[in-house]
Structure 1
Amino acid sequence: MTHGTKLPFLTTGDGSLTFFSAEFGQAFHNLSGAAQEALEKFVRPCRLDRLPLERDPLQPIHILDICFGLGYNSGIALETLWQVRPNFPVRVMGLERSPEVPRQAWQAGVGSHWSFRQTWQQWIEQGSWQSEQWQGELLWGDARQTLLQVPLGWADAVFLDPFSPSVCPELWTVEFLRAVAERMRPQGYLATYSCAASVRAALQEAGLHIGSTPPLGRPWPGTVASPQSQDLPPLSDMEWEHLKTRAAVPYRDPTLQEGRSEIRLRRQQEQQGSLLESTSVWKRRWHQ
């Protein structure tokens, strides 16, 4: 977005605010509730409502927030962690294209009621924060490049929250998700709102096991993924069969530098040459 451009905001179903992106033609959050989505689609699937009870406080919890946006996912993660175990040490790295989005979110009131609102404000304004309790760093720019600054094997929890694959395919490719997977701890979790077959297939090709998270404000589920398969909520037969259709052909970006049109075209060409079942046949079988 252009510096100084004011994003139009919307009030979602739970009373929390979100923005609308003219560039992508989408709201930043599920309109049923931005704050609720952060909790149910990201924080809880990554087990952050349980992890502080299992961890030695000498080992901080590491959160990687991809497409930090308004900050709900990280903010509600901190609230949740400290409700379970106050003052547990946390490290957060947020990837976001522009500082304008979180700064405008703060100005609109996002985070104003959080118990750590003063340190949150300083983090948003400065781009970094460090205290004994928590450390935060915001990396500005294309997440395909800023991700490389995140240490390998670092993250306990990854929030994958770009705009949808059809409009922002560059952050849903096999190559990008493989780089994300390399930055996860062996017992870490990745959560996303998307259940697109292309995304789930890319996560699998990137070396992760996948599970399904409950619907929220819409009829379809989200996805949780991990390097290990233990305790992942299972996919339904319908979801597994979806991964055997042409919808599961993933997006690819071999150089991590290609434009959206190139990434979409490569997928279309791969789908045209695919021997996988037509997605329309799958739909007729399951939605009669």
Structure 2
Amino acid sequence: MAHVLGQNQYGKAETRLVRITRGGTRHEVKDLSVSVALSGDLDDVHLSGSNANCLPTDTAKNTCYAFAKQYGIGSAEEYGIRLARHFVDDVEPIHRARIRIEEYFWDRIRTPGAQGRFIGSEEVGHSFVRRGSEVRTAEVVWDGSALQVVSGLHGLVVMNSTDSEFWGYIKDRYTTLQEAYDRVLATEVTARWRHSFTGAPGQPEPDWDACWAEVRRHLLEAFAETYSYSLQQTLHAMGIRVLDHVPGVDEIRLQLPNKHHFVVDMAPYGLKNENEVFFAADRPYGLIEGTVHREGTVPVIPVD
């Protein structure tokens, strides 16, 4: 029976990279994890062990560092596009490059003013504190002719303490969940959105940082402003809010785990719990996923 080598790729995963831009006394920090995946004329590497067409993964790692030094890191997307184009355009056997980036946020530390009070406090130009669990993401794919850029975030934890219900659902012999007409709705948002930008000649490149901030703002506003009858309804509202307000985005995929908050039964203690004290369960959890895209476009963001 004949065997066929199928789709394959290789690269360097999770290269940790910190770039400090030293502008006098005020420094800027970019903290990234970069994963490179390369595809192309690589059959012989697998079939005969010839490495003639194989760019070492160590070289891919070194390229990440070198590009950070030579060109800086304006945004995760811009940096990813530059890397992807290099691997395809400058390394002959490579026909497709996928760059995945996670960016971790650092905020400046504020210190008391000269009088020892926080009135008139100042930011220290070289001291930072890591910001919570939220991570910015970017994925760039370049095949020599078409560019695909998917921005995103994960670890964005949000909660509505009211304006959420869940009732009218299917009930069978295994259903124990009680209907809720005023519940806590909390989730940890993972979002990925695909830009219409394809890198075609003459097509202006977006302001990646501004676009990312705008999408994040609309996700938060939609979550806060939606009276929710289900997390699915909230997901849809968040998706259409982004597409309605950010014309450069064609598709957004959301993953929303339901971070359940169950009302604690205080009757055994002789107390009445009026929707005030909750048990925050971390697992198992409902996982709500969905894609919202513009009519006439084909969704391409994969389900991970």
Q: Which has the higher strand share?
A: 2
Q: Which has the higher contact order (CA 8 A, sep 6+)?
A: 1
TM-score, length basis structure 1: 0.29
TM-score, length basis structure 2: 0.28
